[in-house]
Every structure is written in C-alpha cells, then in structure tokens.
Amino acid sequence: KKDIITLAIETSCDETSVAVLKNGREVLSNVISSQTDLHKKFGGVVPEVASRKHIESMNAIIQDALDKANITFDDIDNIGVTYGPGLVGALLVGVATAKALAFGKGIPLVGVNHIEGHICANFIEYKDLKPPFVCLVVSGGHTHLVYIKDYGEYEILGKTRDDAAGEAFDKVARALGLGYPGGPEIDKLAKIGDKDAIDFPRVYLDNDSYDFSFSGLKSAVLNYLNNNKQRGVEIKVEDVAASFQQAVIEVLAEKSIMAAKEKGSKIIAIAGGVAANEGLRALLKKRCEEEGLEFKYPSKILCTDNAAMIGCAAYYDFIKGYRADMTLNAVPNLKL
Ligand code: KG4
Ligand code: ZN
C-alpha cells in the first residue's frame, strides 16, 4: 500500500503554518511563521492585521513546506485545513487557499477542527499512542477536558465557563506589565518565585464537575495588585506569577486525574499552548506517577499552533472517507 501524503494549512489565529505529513504521524515539514512581533505593540492579536499578514505570507510558506519535505503538489493525496474555531478573517485565508489548491489540482479536501488538531499533536509525539485516553486541551481560546473514545470520537467532560486558561495567563501577565503572549513570561518568572507566597483561590466549582472557571482567579490577582499598590506595598512580580500559576495548574491537574479515574483511562494527555507550561508538565508528571497513570505531553512546538497537528487530524478523517467540498467555509465558533 502506498504512503498517504497530507498537506495541512493552519491560520486560525496569528500563526501562518503549513505542514507535510506521511501517513498522518510522520512530519516531513512543519513551517510556522509567527506574527507575534507584529501584534506585540498592540498587546494582543489584532484580527484584521492577522488576516492581511496571512495573505502576504501564505504562498511562500506553502512553497517552503513543500521544499523542506522534498515533494511537489503532484505528491499530495489530501489537503487538510483548519476551518474553525478561530478568527473568521484569519480562518478564511487558510480555507480559501486550501480550496483553491484542492480545486486547481484535483486533490481531496478535509476540513479540520482546530481543537481536534491540538489533541492530535499527541499522536505525532507518541507514535504508538492509541485511544481511548483523557486529554486536557488548554489554549488561548479553549479549556476542554475531553475523553477520546476513538480517532475522531470525542466526549467532552468539561470546559471553561468563562476565561480560557491561556486567556487568564495573558490577562494576568498584562496586569503585571509583562509582554505578550503572557503565558511563557509567567512560566519563566514562576520558576524563580514562591508559589506559596499568596493564597489565590482554587476554583473547583461543584465537586463532581469537570468545568473550569478562571475569571474569579484573574480578579483576585487584579485586586491583590491594586490593594498593594494603593497601600504602597512592594509587589514581588515573580511571587504573584508563581502563586497565580500554581492556582491554575493545581485545578487543571486534579480535574484531569479525576476524569481519568472516572473513565478508567490509564493515560492523561495534554494539548494546546498552555500545555507548554513547565509548571503544569511537572505537576501532572508527579501526580500521574502517584496515581499510577501514564502522562503524555507533546513537545512545545506541537503544543502551540502549528499545521502538523492539523495534518494528523485530517489524515484520520481522510482514511475514514470524510471529504469537504467547495462549500467549505470558516466557522469561527465551531464546536468539538
Ligand atoms: O494553542 P495556542 O498557540 O493558540 C490557541 O489556539 O489559542 O495557545 C496560545 C496560548 C496563549 O494564551 C499563551 O499565553 C499560552 O498559550 N501559552 C502558555 C505557555 N506558552 C503559551 N501558557 C502558559 N505557559 C506557557 N509556557
Ligand atoms: Zn490553538
């Protein structure tokens, strides 16, 4: 049987990324062009700026991904593209590009859910990982606790009721005067700060709920900063970062463990930008060891947005027979 080559395109936010994969799990190239520097001066992603930059970069990045994989358009068996969730203008650039290529070259097209892509990063990292398992998806836009029953079959156990985990990191970082994106900055500072310095709230909601809530914690940090500023008390930024991060990751870790136990899953995987967090990785590693569970986490480049993970998800849909047609459109609030 011949190898299946997938070309994947990801433009849901501020990374323009194109990847080439062999048989879904082998990455031949994964070109990621980050627009972070462009958005930094605004303190966050400006949707219109992101769309325009995607258009400017797209053709060169496709060529780069083909060159690095040492293939041409004729070698491609299917094209996978993120069609949601994300910024509508940004998504449209990827979707329009993928449709044009699919139509022009007569290549089958597969639309991919971005959150599903994040989960699939684990299949690339661990070649023999198979469902079922529990996966915590934590990114700038999403916080989902998911039971992966089979390839492409998901049961959502819980999600955030307000801010996403990454959003909380970014907002607290901004209040602390750190750069954008804030997650990696807080992660760095947390290493030198005291995680027990400030007792920020751990929000578990109802005992048996797998939902999350981070907006109360965010407010608690803002109040702490305001109160101390007013009273002229010196604020140790690294202690705030460490204490805030600890409050987030403890809840993420404990709910994941609870979910794995209830589902009888021996494996917990993590995915999404916040899965790059060193504190979260260390805590879950320790807790999984204590609980006799296996812990899986993708390398950092596969945690944050990239097209390789989209290609992996597209591959599993493709071999199941899923095909998108030329009516494929961006769906900004697409659900898993
Ligand atoms: O998955 P991603 O690249 O984009 C979305 O789909 O949202 O995630 C970006 C988010 C941002 O909020 C960023 O601050 C956070 O992931 N992030 C981190 C770390 N690296 C990225 N959060 C905590 N610690 C990190 N090391
Ligand atoms: Zn993402």
pLDDT digits 0-9 by tens, 4-58: 999 999 999 999 999 999 999 999 999 999 999 899 888 889 999 999 999 999 9
Q: Is the CB of 35 under 6 A from ligand 1?
A: no
Q: Which-ligand-closest: CA of 310?
A: 2
Q: Report the chain's C-alpha Rg in angstroms.
A: 20
Beta-ladder partners of 6: 21, 78
Backbone CA torsion sign across 125, 126, 127, 132: negative
Question: pTM for this one?
Answer: 0.96
Determine which residue's CA is closest to atom 13 belonging to ligand 1. 183
E strand or H helix at 225, and its extent? Answer: helix 215-230
Determine which residue's CA is closest to atom 7 belonging to ligand 1. 140
Kindly indicate whether the ipTM for this predicted assembly is greater than 0.95, answering yes or no.
yes
Q: Which of 140, 141, 134 is nearest to 158 (CA)?
A: 134
305 marked as part of a ligand binding site: yes
Could you tell me if residue 314 is inside a domain? Answer: yes
Atom of ligand 1 at shortest range from CA of 279: 24
Q: How far is it, in rounded angstroms, from Cα 96 to Cα 253? A: 39
128 marked as part of a ligand binding site: no
81 marked as part of a ligand binding site: no
Q: Is the CB of 80 under 6 A from ligand 1?
A: no
Assess whether 72 and 139 both reside in one domain: no
Q: Which-ligand-closest: CA of 173?
A: 1
Assess whether 72 and 167 both reside in one domain: no
- pLDDT attached to residue 326: 97
Q: Is the CB of 306 under 6 A from ligand 1?
A: no
Assess whether 266 and 156 both reside in one domain: yes
Assess whether 150 and 282 both reside in one domain: yes
Assess whether 145 and 207 both reside in one domain: yes
Q: Is the CB of 168 under 6 A from ligand 1?
A: no
Domain boundaries, position 30 = 5-119+303-320
Assess whether 96 and 208 both reside in one domain: no
Could you tell me if residue 78 is inside a domain? Answer: yes
Q: Which-ligand-closest: CA of 272?
A: 1
CA of 20 to the centre of ligand 2 (A): 18
Atom of ligand 1 at shortest range from CA of 173: 14
> Where in the chain does DSSP place strands (E)?
5-10, 15-22, 26-34, 78-84, 109-113, 133-138, 143-150, 153-159, 267-271, 294-296
CA of 327 to the centre of ligand 1 (A): 31
Number of domains present in the structure of the chain: 2
CA of 299 to the centre of ligand 1 (A): 13
170 marked as part of a ligand binding site: yes
Q: Which amino acid is at 314?
A: A
Assess whether 311 and 248 both reside in one domain: no
274 marked as part of a ligand binding site: no
- pLDDT attached to residue 180: 86
3-state secondary structure of 208: coil
Assess whether 111 and 220 both reside in one domain: no
Assess whether 141 and 185 both reside in one domain: yes
Q: How far is it, in rounded angstroms, from Cα 201 to Cα 222? A: 13
141 marked as part of a ligand binding site: yes
| CATH number of the domain bearing residue 206 | 3.30.420.40
Q: Is the CB of 84 under 6 A from ligand 1?
A: no
Q: Is the CB of 94 under 6 A from ligand 1?
A: no
Atom of ligand 1 at shortest range from CA of 278: 26
Assess whether 58 and 17 both reside in one domain: yes
Assess whether 106 and 136 both reside in one domain: no
- pLDDT attached to residue 1: 65
- pLDDT attached to residue 208: 84
pLDDT digits 0-9 by tens, 155-183: 999 999 999 999 999 999 999 999 888 99
Assess whether 183 and 198 both reside in one domain: yes
Q: Is the CB of 117 under 6 A from ligand 1?
A: no
Q: Which-ligand-closest: CA of 39?
A: 1
177 marked as part of a ligand binding site: no
Task: Report, as ranges of residue numbers, the positions in the chain whose pLDDT lies below 50.
Answer: none
- pLDDT attached to residue 301: 97
